[in-house]
Amino acid sequence: MKPGKGKVFIKDLAPGKQFNMNGKTGILLRCDVNADVIITELPKTQYYTDNESYYRGRQIWSGYTEVEVIWNVKHVDTIM
């Protein structure tokens, strides 16, 4: 299985790396079978505004979630 063009599986990122998935920006905390992430920014739509408390913050995602890496971001060691 390979990720789509321009994307990587979140399991292949290093902890602390920032990513984007369909407009949701987050930081990978760790990944075993599943990825422990913190979502820091959401798309500016009415849906996400109305449901911000559900989508923002710490979440568990599949390690095979396809994400775009946000480059030029310093490694985050202080979150863990």
10-52 confidence digits (pLDDT tens): 999 999 999 999 999 999 999 999 999 999 999 999 999 999 9
Q: Which residue reads 């568990």 in tokens? A: 60
pLDDT of residue 80: 46
Q: How many domains does the chain have?
A: 1
- Is 33 a member of any domain? yes
- Is 41 a member of any domain? yes
- DSSP assignment of the chain equals --PPTT-EEGGGSPTT-EEEETTEEEEEEEESSEEEEEEEE--SSHHHHHTHHHHSEEEEEETT-EEEE--S-----S--
- Is 78 a member of any domain? no
- Confidence band (pLDDT; 50, 70, 90) for 60? very high
pLDDT of residue 71: 81
